Amino acid sequence: MARLVAPRMSLSTNPLKSSAAMGAANAYLGVDGAIPLLHGAQGCTAFALVAMVRHYDEPIPLQTTAMNEISTILGGAEQVEEAIDNLRRKASPTLIGIASTALTETRGEDVAGELRALRARRQDLTDTAIVYAATPDFIGGLEDGWARAVTAMIDELVPGRGRTHARQVNLLAGSHLTSADVEELVGLVRAFDLEPIVLPDISTSLDGHVDEGWRGTARGGTSLADIARMGESACTLVAGESLRGAAERLEARTGVPFRVYERLTGLRAVDGFVATLMGLAGASDAPADVKRARSRLVDAALDAHFHTGGLRVAIGADPDLVFGLGAALVDLGAEIVAAASTSWANPVLAQLPTAEVDIADLGALERRAAEAGAEVIIAHAHGRHAADRLGLPLVRAGFPIFDRLGAQDVCRVGYRGTRAFFLEIANAAQGRRLTPRPEHFGATPAAEEFEHARP
Amino acid sequence: MKPGLQAQVQGVLDEPACATNRAKPEAERKKGCTKPLTPGAAAGGCAFDGAKIALQPIVDAAHLVHGPLACEGNGWDSRGSASSGSELYRTGFTTDLSELDVVMGKGERKLYRAIREVIEAHRPPAVFVYATCVSALIGDDVVAVCKAAAERYDTPVIPVDVPGFVGSKNLGNKLAGQTLLDHVIGTVEPAAPSSLDVNIVGEFNVAGELWQVKPLFDRLGIRVLGAITGDARYRQVAMAHRAQVTMLVCSKALTNLARGLEERWNIPWFEGSFYGIADTSAAIRTMAAMLVERGAPADLLDRAEALIEEQEANTWAALKPYRARVAGKRVLLYTGGHKTWSVVAALQELGMEVVGTSVRKSTDEDKARIEQIMGDDTHMFENMAPKDMYAVLAGAEADVLMSGGRSRFVALKSKTPWVDVNQEKHEAYAGYVGMVEMVRAIDRAVNNPMWAEVKAPAPWQAGFVPAAPSSSSLRVVTSDATDFEDC
């Protein structure tokens, strides 16, 4: 329904998107024992590292191949090998997830070929899985990089077809999901006695927890053994249109069919997901707590619609998140008056119930929001400047969120998460309810002589 | 009950200016419209509540509640009367009587000190002191304390001697009106009284409703001298005796105040409403005519007619775009004090069908108008129990309920759109612009896509149909039974 447009401007003001390489790094961190390795100059990693640490409030084991002047000219194969050796020696990662950057892609590194040669030459590397995703900073954003990393992991780590276990399902988790979102979906799947393998599973690695000892790798996430069993699942449930390609690749390798959920926020959207789970489980009924959660969501929708009906929303985020949250609000009578997103690659944007989506920056979102008289802004933490200038409440969603704790604890999917989201938006709308003044109605102020002169 | 209070209650109940009351036999007349409260089946506020509602919109006064915490602590900061000036009226002041105060009889002293403290801290033009059940029971002489404090601190301190147990909220309204007559009105003289000064009684500026009609008066040069009590300053209420005409806004409760103004200061009054287009026009027309009769320039009549003509045309033009969106919707009106026939007429004009309207507080005259508009009286009802209302709504006999907050959840739990039309609402529906706002609210309520969502069966219920795929460009697997098996 929406037309994707790019403002005819050379200048980008206040970026909305984060780089694809950082998206890949985030995805790799959903695998137990992994270390993401950005193939680029140190700065590529340093900026990403700071952003991720601030967002997750966690130590992030992100490393760099530290390309220098000479390797930039002569090729970075040695840098990669040296980085792999160092990481193996220092942290014994189960997986090294390499993501390229604009630097290495511009010079035209053949990392895949070099890795093949390296493996052939170095038999001692077999106990560390190495995955490579091409994520130049000049193509797409965080969501695209995440999807590329997930696809690369499937290619590299899932051996192929296996004997199908009827109650085992794959859950491909998109970059728009928080740890709490993933956990909610896992809970729903398990509620129907189904056993999910989540890829990537940031709900057990980047959820913010304290465990015994120090590990310089991802502390939690999907195990490599589980990833290897993904070909034995009955079905792949895909949370987010951005992972359709990854699911297709998985189906091609293993024959496991998939179903994409463009969103899991919204009553009817979650109903569809639950119906699938019931079908997979052969159940004609749902557990009591699932039913209760749905009933509470219905009540929250009834209560919230007074505030969301006609609410003029501006939203800026990666495509899957824009669609998930935006469409759910339209279900509740809100109007998307300004939308900005980061990538042309995701067709879900075209379905956003609004006239146009800018593939642009926060500056464009701010302009449109001001023109259209938006009442609430949904964006990541950088949106606070626009929100301040426009005097609007900012509902923080997406990446990065560095000025609030618990960004990963916010759940906006499933019955429970949708309920929380509806109430959150209704509260944001209430928070800015204007105190009526005579001038709003064109009435004159009270006469001077009526006023009490305080002694 | 103290003799003085008893006499006062008697006085306000036997209201000679109320047509309903006049029609009753003499014995019943004294009871007024106060129905005996039924234990186990009473839902309204107490007399204290009613008095507070009527007086609290005086924005620059301090409102001090003399009683244990519940009377102020449980109810403060919950009303939507808006202020264009001081916010002092929103500040919750109470003596917060403790067990020790009650047992040791320290109430009067505490009250006196509290009055001193509030005057010292805020220097208000006046302090309203509200007695409560407990202060009345322990025999605190609120009137005497107020008198002493007023003299000592040179500030009007007005006793509102309306403990909750004397009766209903409606009675409290009346007693508040009496309090203004006895203690406030006539105590300040306006600098330049004009032949275009009016009182507006019974309009509390909820969500700014007074300001929705004030521009109309502004354009005609009419000044709201006595605002009782919407967005009122204390001095303004005190000057109300110099107005030329009083408009009593759809509120039987304050009839005694309008009548008192007439008896004491010879100010004629009329009853009108700002809800609905026809009522608003009628109110302006009547006000202009009465002002001219009292000596205002005769051209006011023509100016009023021109204004009405212009405003009505503008309003219908503004409503036109909504017609297609609300036409055919069936409305159940369940309102309290509002005169509804004028709203009914406007809704019908937009193609809506009013399937029922309550006439709980309507006069015979109102009922006749409703009958005239709706064709017969089959759609009028007095009271509707929540259970019955739920059945009506769940049976889809109405598309939207317009009511006060008490039946809100009857509508929501039956998954029926609801529009708030009571005192706690956040939107203003008065005058011409208010009618447009109301229709906009109806549109927003009935046309919210959420209703279809929440009414659809759950996946585990019979008749569940998965939401339609949002686009054919996606590979969406239909979810029939066979399909689950291969996925």
* 3-class secondary structure per residue, B180-243: HHHHHCCCCCCCCCCCCEEEEEEECCECCHHHHHHHHHHHHCCEEEEEEECCECHHHHHCHHHC
Strand stretches in B299-365, DSSP E: 330-334, 353-358
Cα separation, B430 vs B436, in Å, equals 9
Domain boundary among A287, A314, A332: A287
pLDDT recorded at residue B366: 72
Which chain A residue is nearest to residue B460, measuring alpha carbons?
A: A285
Tell whether A375 is within 8 A of chain B (Cβ): no
Q: Answer yes or no: do A29 and A128 share one domain.
A: yes
pLDDT recorded at residue B347: 87
For residue A53, being part of any structural domain is answered with: yes
Kindly state the average pLDDT of the residues B56-80: 90
pLDDT for residue B479 is more than 60: no
pLDDT for residue A424 is more than 90: yes
Cα separation, B379 vs B359, in Å, equals 10
Tell whether A389 is within 8 A of chain B (Cβ): no
Q: Answer yes or no: do B332 and B308 share one domain.
A: no
Confidence at A212, pLDDT banded by 50, 70, 90: confident
pLDDT recorded at residue B39: 78
Is residue B429 packed enough to be buried (19+ CB in 10 Å), middle (13-18) or exposed (0-12)? buried
Q: Answer yes or no: do A66 and A145 share one domain.
A: yes
pLDDT recorded at residue A329: 98
Which chain A residue is nearest to residue B188, measuring alpha carbons?
A: A450
Domain boundary among B280, B295, B315: B315
Q: Which residues of B touch A279 (CB under 8 A)?
A: 479, 481, 483-485, 487
For residue A195, being part of any structural domain is answered with: yes
Which chain A residue is nearest to residue B473, measuring alpha carbons?
A: A347
Residues 424-443 of A with CB under 8 A from B: 433, 435-438, 440-443
Which chain B residue is nearest to residue A170, measuring alpha carbons?
A: B487
User: In whole angstroms, how large is the CA radius of gyration of chain B?
Assistant: 26
For residue B270, being part of any structural domain is answered with: yes
Cα separation, A335 vs B225, in Å, equals 43
Domain boundary among A271, A287, A303: A287
Which chain A residue is nearest to residue B207, measuring alpha carbons?
A: A436
Kindly state the average pLDDT of the residues B7-15: 78
Q: Answer yes or no: do A202 and A116 share one domain.
A: no
The enclosing domain of B290 has a CATH number of 3.40.50.12380
Confidence at A202, pLDDT banded by 50, 70, 90: very high
pLDDT for residue B420 is more than 70: yes
For residue B1, being part of any structural domain is answered with: no
Minimal CA separation from B454 to chain A, in Å: 6
pLDDT recorded at residue A110: 94
From A275, A348, A454, residue closest to B479, measured CB to CB: A275
The enclosing domain of B67 has a CATH number of 3.40.50.1980
Tell whether A172 is within 8 A of chain B (Cβ): no
Tell whether A285 is within 8 A of chain B (Cβ): yes
For residue A436, being part of any structural domain is answered with: no
pLDDT recorded at residue B345: 81
What is chain B's mean pLDDT, rounded? 87
pLDDT for residue B33 is more than 80: no
Dig out the tokens for A7 from the structure: 């403002």
For residue A76, being part of any structural domain is answered with: yes
Q: Answer yes or no: do A380 and A303 share one domain.
A: yes
pLDDT recorded at residue B480: 39
Q: Which residues of A touch B475 (CB under 8 A)?
A: 244, 260
For residue B95, being part of any structural domain is answered with: yes
Q: Which residues of A touch B191 (CB under 8 A)?
A: 449
H/E run at residue B144: helix B142-153
- Check A272 against B487: CB less than 8 A apart: no
- Check B207 against A442: CB less than 8 A apart: no
Q: Answer yes or no: do A337 and A383 share one domain.
A: yes
Cα separation, B116 vs B128, in Å, equals 13
Cα separation, A370 vs A380, in Å, equals 18
Greater confidence (B188 vs B362) lies with B188
Number of domains in chain A: 3
pLDDT for residue B477 is more than 50: no
**Helix (H, G, I), strand (E, B), or coil: what is residue A357?**
strand
pLDDT recorded at residue B487: 44
Confidence at B144, pLDDT banded by 50, 70, 90: very high
pLDDT recorded at residue B337: 52
Q: Answer yes or no: do A281 and A295 share one domain.
A: no
CA torsion through residues A154, A160, A161, A165, sign: negative
- Are A267 and A301 within 8 A, CB to CB? yes
Lowest mean pLDDT among A393-407, A425-439, B276-290: A425-439
Q: Answer yes or no: do B258 and B384 share one domain.
A: no
**Residues 6 or more apart whose Cβ sits within 8 Å of residue A388:** none
pLDDT recorded at residue B474: 33
What are the pLDDT digits (tens) for A16-25?
Answer: 999 999 999 9
Confidence at B467, pLDDT banded by 50, 70, 90: confident
- Are B440 and B322 within 8 A, CB to CB? yes
Greater confidence (B115 vs A440) lies with B115
pLDDT recorded at residue B384: 82
Domain boundary among B140, B160, B184: B184
Q: Answer yes or no: do A52 and A183 share one domain.
A: no
pLDDT for residue A454 is more than 80: no
For residue B438, being part of any structural domain is answered with: no
Under 8 Å CB pairs connecting chains A and B tally to 162
For residue A202, being part of any structural domain is answered with: yes
Q: Which residues of A touch B449 (CB under 8 A)?
A: 330-333
pLDDT recorded at residue A95: 97
pLDDT for residue A27 is more than 70: yes
Confidence at B424, pLDDT banded by 50, 70, 90: low
Greater confidence (B395 vs B234) lies with B234
For residue A455, being part of any structural domain is answered with: no
- Check B467 against A268: CB less than 8 A apart: yes
For residue B373, being part of any structural domain is answered with: yes
Q: Which domain holds residue B280?
A: 197-315
Cα separation, A443 vs B85, in Å, equals 14
Q: Answer yes or no: do A138 and A175 share one domain.
A: no
pLDDT recorded at residue A66: 93
Kindly state the average pLDDT of the residues B365-369: 75
Number of domains in chain B: 3
Domain boundary among A287, A317, A332: A287
For residue A203, being part of any structural domain is answered with: yes
Q: Answer yes or no: do A276 and A323 share one domain.
A: no
Lowest mean pLDDT among A86-100, A229-243, B221-235, B419-433: B419-433
Q: Answer yes or no: do A88 and A54 share one domain.
A: yes
Greater confidence (B357 vs A421) lies with A421
User: In whole angstroms, how large is the CA radius of gyration of chain A?
Assistant: 24
Q: Which of A189, A277, A302 to mutate to test the interface with B (most CBs of B within 10 A)?
A: A302
Minimal CA separation from B450 to chain A, in Å: 5
pLDDT recorded at residue B1: 59
Q: Which residues of B touch A258 (CB under 8 A)?
A: 487
The enclosing domain of A33 has a CATH number of 3.40.50.1980
Q: Answer yes or no: do B256 and B343 share one domain.
A: no
For residue A244, being part of any structural domain is answered with: yes
pLDDT recorded at residue A229: 97
- Check A301 against B454: CB less than 8 A apart: yes
Kindly state the average pLDDT of the residues A347-369: 95
Q: Answer yes or no: do B345 and B211 share one domain.
A: no
User: How far is the first Cα of chain B from the last one, in angstroms, to the nearest whole number?
Assistant: 78
Which chain B residue is nearest to residue A438, measuring alpha carbons?
A: B211
Sheet holding B245-249, edge to edge: B223-229, B197-203, B245-249, B269-272
Q: Which residues of B touch A274 (CB under 8 A)?
A: 459
Q: Which domain holds residue A265?
A: 165-287
What is chain A's mean pLDDT, rounded? 95
For residue B370, being part of any structural domain is answered with: yes
pLDDT recorded at residue B471: 36
Greater confidence (A293 vs B358) lies with A293
pLDDT for residue A176 is more than 70: yes
Question: What percentage of residues in chain A have a pLDDT greater than 70?
Answer: 100
pLDDT for residue A77 is more than 70: yes
Q: Answer yes or no: do A249 and A345 share one domain.
A: no
- Check A275 against B415: CB less than 8 A apart: no
For residue B5, being part of any structural domain is answered with: no
Q: Answer yes or no: do A136 and A265 share one domain.
A: no
Residue type, B187: T
Confidence at A160, pLDDT banded by 50, 70, 90: confident
Kindly state the average pLDDT of the residues B398-418: 91
